[in-house]
Amino acid sequence: MELTIKNLFKTYKNGVKALDNVSLTIPRGMYGLLGPNGAGKSTLMRTLATLQEPDSGSVTLGDIDVLKQKDEVRRRLGYLPQEFGVYPRISAQDMLSHLALLKGITNSRERKEIVSAMLQRCNLYDVRKKALTGFSGGMRQRFGIAQALLGNPQLLIVDEPTAGLDPGERNRFYNLLAEVGEQVIVILSTHIVEDVMDLCTNMAIIHEGKVLYEGEPQAAISKLSGRIWQRSIEKVELAHYEQTFRVVSNKLVGGRPFLHVYGEQPPGDGFLPSQADLEDVFFTKIRNWD
């Protein structure tokens, strides 16, 4: 099964063009949607989750028309939005049972078994009776995935899922998503390059509502081979280098700016060849240098 998006447009009343002729083909597995804040990612995710309408275009999930057959889509959809609200005085077990009931799992014995299995799968069984208000950020995200996985969805959408998580929670979350992605379509919407590089076999870069790249992360990186150069400079030199070169990124290393610059020819001035990475791809695409 594939998710096929064709020629989606969405302009808000304030004139912001959130989606500008977006077309993507998303296969089963982990798919990264990478873009800066305000790029249009959340608008696209809400559209796919049947929460808002585009101005025009089409979306199909297999043979289902996502924009017209919303109830059919919702039966096959799991969604973890960027802002996931919870009921603080309810235990994880009771809340998940309630959400399972809303998803149509009406048999009490079956629902109990499903809830128990989902809590185990998301490593929340030991805290199943704890109120959600006492959960850490990572625990809440795992609860969000648990509710999204109820009903065995064929499409799972997660929007900025690792924001605010510590490294341990982030790794646990990655492992869970990777496991899920072996069987269903998982769309990971994020502005964090490492999330896409670590998890996704296919990706798209979106900026100002437009798709700038669609394909495999490694293929995009390979196209930058021989075009990324690096060197360390003094802080007082930074403004000069930013005016003189196409600075892709600037990181402090040992208290000094460490630059990646883009150039089809060696830029000289002490720059050495650098192995390109997905962050280089991200910034060169956004700046329309490649």
Spacing of C-alpha 114 from chain mean position: 27
Strand partners, 203: 32, 215
Q: Are 265 and 273 in contact (CB under 8 A)?
A: no
- The pTM of this model reads 0.87
Over residues 62-88, the pLDDT tens digits come to 999 999 999 999 989 999 887 766 667
pLDDT for position 87:
65
Per-residue pLDDT averaged across 159-182, rounded?
81
Alpha helices in 37-136 (DSSP H): 41-48, 70-75, 92-102, 108-121
Region at 104 (left for phi over 0; alpha for psi -120 to 50; beta for the rest): left
Strand segments, DSSP code E, in the chain are: 3-11, 17-26, 29-34, 56-61, 64-65, 77-80, 155-159, 185-190, 202-207, 210-215, 228-232, 246-253, 256-262, 272-273
Q: Which string of b and e fits 180-209 if b means at least 16 CB within 10 Å?
A: bbeebbbbbbbbbbebbbbbbebbbbbbeb
Which two structure tokens, joined as six digits, stand for 149?
């996985």
pLDDT for position 1:
86
**Angle 48-94-188 from CA coordinates, rounded to 5°:** 25
User: Backbone phi, then psi, for 126, in 5-degree steps?
Assistant: -70, -20
Over residues 14-59, the pLDDT tens digits come to 999 999 999 999 999 999 999 998 899 999 999 999 999 999 999 9
Over residues 187-196, the pLDDT tens digits come to 999 888 988 9
pLDDT for position 86:
61
Which two structure tokens, joined as six digits, stand for 208?
């100002």
**Angle 207-41-4 from CA coordinates, rounded to 5°:** 100
Over residues 97-142, the pLDDT tens digits come to 999 998 889 999 999 999 999 999 888 999 999 999 898 888 888 8
Over residues 227-268, the pLDDT tens digits come to 999 999 999 999 999 999 999 999 999 999 999 999 999 999
% of the chain beyond a pLDDT of 90: 74
Indicate the residue type of 130. Answer: K
The helix/strand count (H/E) of the chain reads as: 10, 14
Q: Which of 16-25, 170-179, 189-198, 279-288 has the lowest mean pLDDT?
A: 170-179
